[in-house]
Amino acid sequence: MSMLHRHFILRITTKLLMPFILMFALYVQFHGDFGPGGGFQAGVIFGAGFILYALIYGIDAAEKVTPPGLIRAVMALGLLLYVGVGYFGMFLGGAFLDYNVLRHDPVHGQHLGITLVELGVGTTVAATMITVFFSFAGRMRRGKRPE
Amino acid sequence: MIAAHLPVLQIVVPLIAAPICLLLRRGSLAWGLSLAVSLAVLVIAANLLTQVLESGPISYQLGGWAPPWGIEYRIDVLNSFVLLIVAAIGAVVLAYARRSVAQELPESQQSGFYTALLLCLAGLLGVTVTGDAFNLFVFLEISSLSSYVLISMGRDRRALTAAFQYLVMGTIGATFIVIGIGLLYMATGTLNMADLGARLPAAGASRTVLAAFAFLTVGATLKLALFPLHFWLPNAYAYAPSAVTAFLAATATKVSIYILLRFFYTIFGPAFAAADITLQSLLIPLATVAVLVCSTVAIFQNNVKRMLAYSSIAQIGYMMIGIGFGTATGLTAGIVHLFNHALTKGGLFLVLGCVVLRAGSCRLDDLAGLGRRMPLTMFGFVLGGLSLIGVPLTAGFVSKWYLVQAAIEQGNWLVAAAILAGSLLALIYVWRVVEAAYLRPAPENAPEAAEAPWSMLIPAWILIGASVYFGVETSLSVGVASEAARFLLGGAG
CB contact A139 to B (< 8 Å)? no
pLDDT at B109: 85
Between B52 and B274, residue with greater pLDDT: B52
Facing A87 at nearest CB: one of B16, B19, B23: B16
Compute the distance between CA of residue B457 and CA of residue B61 in angstroms, rounded to an integer: 41
Scanning B23-82 for CB atoms below 8 A from A yields 23, 60-64
Interchain proximity A98–B64, CB inside 8 Å: yes
Is residue A147 one of the residues assigned to a domain?
no
pLDDT at B488: 85
Q: Chain A: residue nearest B152 by CA?
A: A145
Longest Cα–Cα distance in chain A: 61
Instruction: Show the CA angle centred on residue B340, arms to residues B335 and B342, nearest 5°.
Output: 95
Q: Tell me what the mean pLDDT of segment B45-55 comes to.
A: 90
- Chain A interface, best mutation among B2, B13, B15, B153, by max A CB count within 10 A: B15
The per-residue pLDDT of chain B, averaged, comes to 88
Compute the distance between CA of residue B303 and CA of residue B385 in angstroms, rounded to an integer: 16
pLDDT at B247: 94
Between B202 and A120, residue with greater pLDDT: A120
Who's near A24: CB < 8 A, 6+ residues apart?
Answer: A45
Model confidence at A7, pLDDT cuts 50, 70, 90, reads confident
By CB atoms closer than 10 A (0-12, 13-18, 19+), residue B421 is middle
Q: Tell me what the mean pLDDT of segment B285-314 comes to.
A: 91
Who's near A19: CB < 8 A, 6+ residues apart?
Answer: none
For B148-163, letters b (16+ CB in 10 Å) and e give bbbbbbbbeeebeebb
Radius of gyration from C-alpha coordinates of chain A: 18
Is residue A16 one of the residues assigned to a domain?
yes
CA distance, residue B15 to nearest chain A CA (Å): 8
pLDDT at A37: 73
Compute the distance between CA of residue B337 and CA of residue B306 in angstroms, rounded to an integer: 21
- Chain A interface, best mutation among B2, B6, B9, B12, by max A CB count within 10 A: B12
Compute the distance between CA of residue B311 and CA of residue B390 in angstroms, rounded to an integer: 13
Q: Tell me what the mean pLDDT of segment B306-334 comes to.
A: 90
CA distance, residue A131 to nearest chain B CA (Å): 14
Question: Which one-letter DSSP state was computed for residue B63?
Answer: G
Residues of B with Cβ-Cβ distance to A87 under 8 angstroms? 12, 16
DSSP track, B29-52:
HHHHHHHHHHHHHHHHHHHHHHHH
pLDDT at A142: 56
pLDDT at B167 over 50: yes
Is residue A82 one of the residues assigned to a domain?
yes
Interchain proximity A96–B62, CB inside 8 Å: yes
Compute the distance between CA of residue A78 and CA of residue A84 in angstroms, rounded to an integer: 10
Is residue A131 one of the residues assigned to a domain?
yes
Interchain proximity A95–B16, CB inside 8 Å: no
Size of interface A-B (CB pairs under 8 A): 50
Interchain proximity B61–A79, CB inside 8 Å: no
Question: Which one-letter DSSP state was computed for residue B451?
Answer: P
Least confident of B131-140, B258-267, B354-363: B354-363
Instruction: Show the CA angle centred on residue B251, arms to residues B420 and B313, nearest 5°.
Output: 35
CB contact A114 to B (< 8 Å)? no
Closest CA to B337 of B324, B351, B349, B352: B324
pLDDT at A145 over 50: no
HSE-up of B469 (CA within 13 Å, CB side)? 11
Per-residue model confidence as pLDDT tens digits over B203-214: 777 888 888 988
Compute the distance between CA of residue B260 and CA of residue B338 in angstroms, rounded to an integer: 13
State CA B260 to chain mean position distance: 13
Compute the distance between CA of residue B420 and CA of residue B318 in angstroms, rounded to an integer: 11
CB contact B15 to A (< 8 Å)? yes
Is residue A126 one of the residues assigned to a domain?
yes
Compute the distance between CA of residue A60 and CA of residue B48 in angstroms, rounded to an integer: 52
Is residue A58 one of the residues assigned to a domain?
yes
Question: Please, are residues B355 and B374 in contact by the beta-carbon 8 Å criterion?
Answer: yes
pTM value is 0.91
Interchain proximity A83–B16, CB inside 8 Å: yes
Q: Chain A: residue nearest B66 by CA?
A: A95
Q: Structural domain tally of chain A? A: 1
pLDDT at A147: 43
DSSP track, B141-186:
HHHHHHHHHHHHTSSSTHHHHHHHHHHHHHHHHHHHHHHHHHHHHH
Closest CA to B470 of B81, B42, B57: B81
Facing A96 at nearest CB: one of B8, B22, B23: B8
pLDDT at A146: 45
CB contact B12 to A (< 8 Å)? yes
Least confident of A59-63, A73-77, B131-135, B165-169: A59-63
State CA A81 to chain mean position distance: 13
Interchain proximity B23–A73, CB inside 8 Å: yes
Angle between helices B413-434 and B279-299 (to 10 degrees): 20
Longest Cα–Cα distance in chain B: 72
Q: Tell me what the mean pLDDT of segment B38-47 comes to.
A: 93
Per-residue model confidence as pLDDT tens digits over B328-371: 888 899 999 999 999 999 999 999 998 888 888 888 888 888 88
The CB density around residue B240, as the number of other CB atoms within 10 Å, is 30
Is residue A9 one of the residues assigned to a domain?
yes
pLDDT at B457 over 80: yes
Predicted complex ipTM: 0.85
- Please write down the HEC assignment for all residues of B200-233: HHHHCCCHHHHHHHHHHHHHHHHHCCCCCCCCCH
Interchain proximity B19–A80, CB inside 8 Å: yes
pLDDT at B365: 83
Of chain B, the end-to-end C-alpha distance in Å amounts to 33
Compute the distance between CA of residue A32 and CA of residue A15 in angstroms, rounded to an integer: 27
Per-residue model confidence as pLDDT tens digits over B14-29: 999 999 988 887 888 8
Q: For residue B58, what is the enclosing H or E element?
A: strand B58-61
Residue B325 identity: F
Evaluated on CA atoms B334, B340, B342, B346, the torsion sign reads: negative
CB contact A84 to B (< 8 Å)? yes
Per-residue model confidence as pLDDT tens digits over B68-121: 888 889 898 899 999 999 999 999 999 999 888 888 888 888 888 999 999 999
Per-residue model confidence as pLDDT tens digits over B436-447: 888 888 777 666
pLDDT at A140: 66
Is residue A37 one of the residues assigned to a domain?
yes
Interchain proximity A75–B19, CB inside 8 Å: yes
Please state, in angstroms and as integers, the Cα–Cα distance from residue B207 to each residue in B112, B204, B213, B336, following that order: 45, 9, 10, 35
Proportion of chain B above pLDDT 90, given as a percent = 45
Least confident of B31-45, B240-254, B283-297, B361-375: B361-375
Per-residue model confidence as pLDDT tens digits over B404-456: 999 998 888 888 999 999 999 999 999 999 988 888 887 776 666 678 888 88
Interchain proximity A87–B18, CB inside 8 Å: no
Evaluated on CA atoms B168, B171, B172, B173, the torsion sign reads: positive
Radius of gyration from C-alpha coordinates of chain B: 21
Name the residue range of residue A127's domain.
2-142
Residues of B with Cβ-Cβ distance to A79 under 8 angstroms? 18-19
